[in-house]
Structures are given as C-alpha cells and as structure tokens.
Amino acid sequence: MNPGQNAPGASSHSAETPIKALESRRSFLFKVSIAINALVAAAVATPVIGYLLGPIRRKGAYNSWIALGPVSDYHEGETVLATYRNPDTNQWDGDTGKVACYVRREAGNTFTVFAVNCAHLGCPVRWFPQSELFMCPCHGGVYYSNGDRAAGPPERGLFTYDYHVTGGKLMINAGQMPTLANEAKLVKGILPCPGTSKPTIG
C-alpha cells in the first residue's frame, strides 16, 4: 500500500468526526439556551407571583391589633393625637413606619379612634380643641368632634378604626388604613358609614 494513501474507511471516519462535534456543540448550546430562558422566566415571574400572593402573605398584618397605651392616658371628652407603628413595616423603616390617629374618649371604655386622613383626598387633618373641629389644610374640609362632615368638599365623615379595651389598654385594628372599601359592611340592609353617627340605607 502506498504510504500516501489513506487506509480504507479513514476518509469516512474523518468526515464523521466534525459532524459529531457539531451535533454535540448544538446540543450543548440548546441546553444552555433552555437554562437561560428558565432563569429569565423565573426573574420575570417572581415579582408577578409576589404581587398576586402579596395580600395572602400579608393577611396576618392586615388583622393586627395594636395597643395605643393604657386607657388612663385618655381623658373623657378629650381628643388627642396618638401614634402607632404600622405592623407591615420593617425595623429599618424608622419613623416612616409610624402612623398617626386621633383618639376621643367618650365615656368609660367608649372611644372613637379617627383616621388622621381627610375623607376627601387623604391630607392629614388637624384637631382644634378651641373650636372642637377637625380641619383639613389642603382643601378646607371641616369635621365635627364626632367625625361627621361639617363643611368643605368631603362627602362623608372621617374614617374610624375598630377598637376594643383589653387589660386596661386601648387596642385598635391597625393592620390597614380604614377606608370606605374595607370598612363599610352591609348588615341587615343597612350600610354603616364610619365616622358618622347615623347609618345610611344600602
């Protein structure tokens, strides 16, 4: 046999080797592309799933009873500003995790705890003991001492928190800010209007 000639089958073997290498490379790149797509899909899906499951995850915080201090700190017939820590905040949130509210002790263990936000556009209202009125500095909303609307653009009274007295302490349901959406409840055909003394017919 001439040394310059290839052995039988050598040509076909050398031709098959690049093909197998190419197929192996394609298989590897295909697997890499699947892995990258999976990572991208996970990165996109994580915030979406977190958004959808957020209310479920925070359900406990949305039903948190917070102490506003001993009942003895509040005097009958007086309205005072109080603060509590939002249960849905973190320790590093600092003072931004504090929420203000107004507490009025009617008599004994009967209280009204008002949300500090105006029922018009949410600006914080101020209590003026001289006139016994809540006033909003933004658009002139005015409320009586019991939270009823007195004047201005608001169409309703101030929102109020649910409360109870336990162990001599005033507790409020502070898991989420009271609004018309989460406070209004239909009971026997009557729709109570938080912050007002009279219910409205639903």
| pLDDT digit string, tens, across residues 166-197 | 899 999 988 666 666 555 443 333 334 444 44
**Residue 104 pLDDT grade (very low, low, confident, very high; cuts 50, 70, 90):** very high
Q: How far, rounded to the nearest angstrom, does the alpha carbon of residue 145 sit from its chain's CA centroid?
A: 29
CATH classification for the domain delimited by 65-201, as one of 2.102.10.10, 3.40.718.10, 3.10.450.50, 3.40.50.620: 2.102.10.10
CA separation for the pair 165, 181 (Å, rounded): 25
Phi/psi for 197 (5° steps) reads -85, -20
Burial 58-92 (b: 16+ CB within 10 A, else e): eeeeeebebebeebeebeeeebeebebebbeeeee
- Mean pLDDT score, 152-172: 91
pTM of the model: 0.58
Classify residue 106 by burial, with Cβ atoms within 10 Å: 0-12, 13-18, 19+. Answer: exposed
Mean pLDDT across 5-17 = 55
pLDDT band for 200, please (50, 70, 90 cuts): very low
